[in-house]
């Protein structure tokens, strides 16, 4: 499939994990990929690997985000896909009882304010073109609660989900689709490290996944490629769960 032939895609957090897998997937389907990441080494490596372009960007910085989309359009002629995906999940963000205001604010900035900025500066380019697809990375925690809390993370993803829904509605008649991707737990280095340290916590989480395993980044990338492509032409303002059945489960198979 070459669903992105002649199209330009910006991927924030494209240097690692879900963003990297998506850069590979979209490039393999013909997209010109712009990798935006605060980590220059991994971001540049990802862009080089997929024959794309790296633009060093801190997604919490308004001027840098504005420049990211303007530079993309100046250099490559259009902005067809914006995958607003960069996010963090630091250990200081925990129960509301122990999470300080600085940790709370940092996560809100990187996970939620960044998506506001990316949409704010991507949409005008898409309005001029009369088309475009935005995929914002939320999480399954935007629709479910956990007793093992990461309070600011969960609240930030809830914000991403509601903002996405509203933008999808507002710009639907201008040819711009805006959808929220809600991944379940993904097999990334961060999660592997966490669970190697605490196998009991890993087992406790896995029991809630009907499929009995975490997602591979390529499985999430496949969903992003679908949402960003014309195959999803009637899908907007949606919460798109790719979670191995977690959000549908009451009891899981043994
Ligand atoms: N891994 C999971 O289990 C999981 C589950 C649901 C949702 N998510 C979400 O998916 C997204 C990607 O997660 P991942 O697991 O691939 O993480 P990751 O840590 O592998 O990759 C995140 C990337 O974002 C970049 N980044 C961080 N802060 C940035 C900033 N201020 N500006 C620009 N880039 C920045 C990092 O350098 C990194 O390359 C995040 O929004 C995360 O919350 C992840």
Output the domain CATH number for residue 99: 3.40.50.720
> At residue 17, does pLDDT exceed 80?
yes
The protein residue whose alpha carbon is closest to atom 24 in ligand 1 is 13
- pLDDT score, position 204: 81
> At residue 45, does pLDDT exceed 80?
yes
Q: How far, in Å, is the centroid of ligand 1 from the Cα of 13?
A: 6
- Domain assignment present for residue 235? The answer is yes
| Parent domain of 59 | 8-187+217-239
- Domain assignment present for residue 109? The answer is yes
- Domain assignment present for residue 87? The answer is yes
> At residue 177, does pLDDT exceed 80?
yes
Q: How far, in Å, is the centroid of ligand 1 from the Cα of 58?
A: 13
- Domain assignment present for residue 27? The answer is yes
The mean per-residue pLDDT over the stretch 142-150 comes to: 94
- pLDDT score, position 154: 98
- Domain assignment present for residue 201? The answer is no
DSSP state of 166: H
Taking the CA of residue 20 as reference, the ligand 1 atom at the shortest distance is: 16
Q: How far, in Å, is the centroid of ligand 1 from the Cα of 117?
A: 16
Considering the chain, what percentage of its residues have pLDDT values greater than 90? 91
Q: Residues with beta carbon inside 6 Å of ligand 1? A: 12-13, 15-19, 37-39, 42, 57-60, 85-89, 110, 137, 139, 183, 185-186, 188, 190-191
- Domain assignment present for residue 206? The answer is no
Lowest mean pLDDT across 114-123, 151-160, 204-213, 226-235? 204-213
Domain count, the chain: 1
* 53 vs 217: CA distance, rounded Å: 21
* 34 vs 72: CA distance, rounded Å: 7
Q: Locate tokens 């999808």: which residue?
A: 168
Contact 186, 222 (CB under 8 A): no
- Domain assignment present for residue 254? The answer is no
The mean per-residue pLDDT over the stretch 5-21 comes to: 98
DSSP state of 20: H
The mean per-residue pLDDT over the stretch 145-164 comes to: 96
- pLDDT score, position 39: 98
pTM strictly above 0.95? yes
If DSSP codes are grouped into helix, strand and coil, which group holds residue 17?
Answer: helix
Query: Any bridge partners for residue 134, and if so which?
Result: 82, 178
């Amino acid at each position: 499939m070459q669903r992105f032939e002649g199209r330009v895609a910006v991927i924030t957090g494209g240097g690692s994990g879900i963003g990297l897998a998506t850069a590979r997937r979209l490039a393999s389907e013909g997209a010109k990929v712009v990798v935006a990441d605060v980590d220059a080494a991994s971001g540049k490596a990802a862009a080089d690997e997929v024959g794309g372009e790296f633009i060093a960007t801190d997604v919490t910085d308004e001027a840098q985000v504005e420049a990211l989309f303007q530079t993309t359009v100046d250099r490559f002629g259009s902005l067809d896909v914006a995958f607003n995906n960069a996010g963090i999940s630091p250990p200081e963000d925990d129960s509301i009882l122990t999470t300080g205001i600085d940790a709370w604010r940092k996560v809100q900035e990187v996970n939620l304010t960044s998506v506001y900025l990316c949409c704010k500066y991507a949409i005008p380019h898409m309005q001029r073109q009369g088309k475009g697809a935005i995929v914002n990375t939320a999480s399954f925690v935007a629709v479910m609660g956990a007793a093992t809390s990461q309070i600011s993370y969960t609240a930030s993803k809830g914000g991403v989900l509601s903002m996405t829904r509203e933008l999808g509605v507002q710009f639907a008649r201008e040819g711009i689709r805006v959808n929220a991707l809600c991944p379940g737990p993904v097999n990334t280095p961060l999660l592997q490290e966490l669970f190697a340290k605490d196998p009991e916590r890993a087992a406790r989480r896995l029991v809630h996944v009907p499929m009995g395993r975490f997602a591979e980044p390529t499985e999430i990338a496949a969903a992003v490629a679908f949402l960003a492509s014309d195959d999803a032409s009637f899908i907007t303002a949606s919460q798109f769960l790719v979670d191995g059945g977690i959000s549908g489960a009451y009891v899981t198979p043994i």
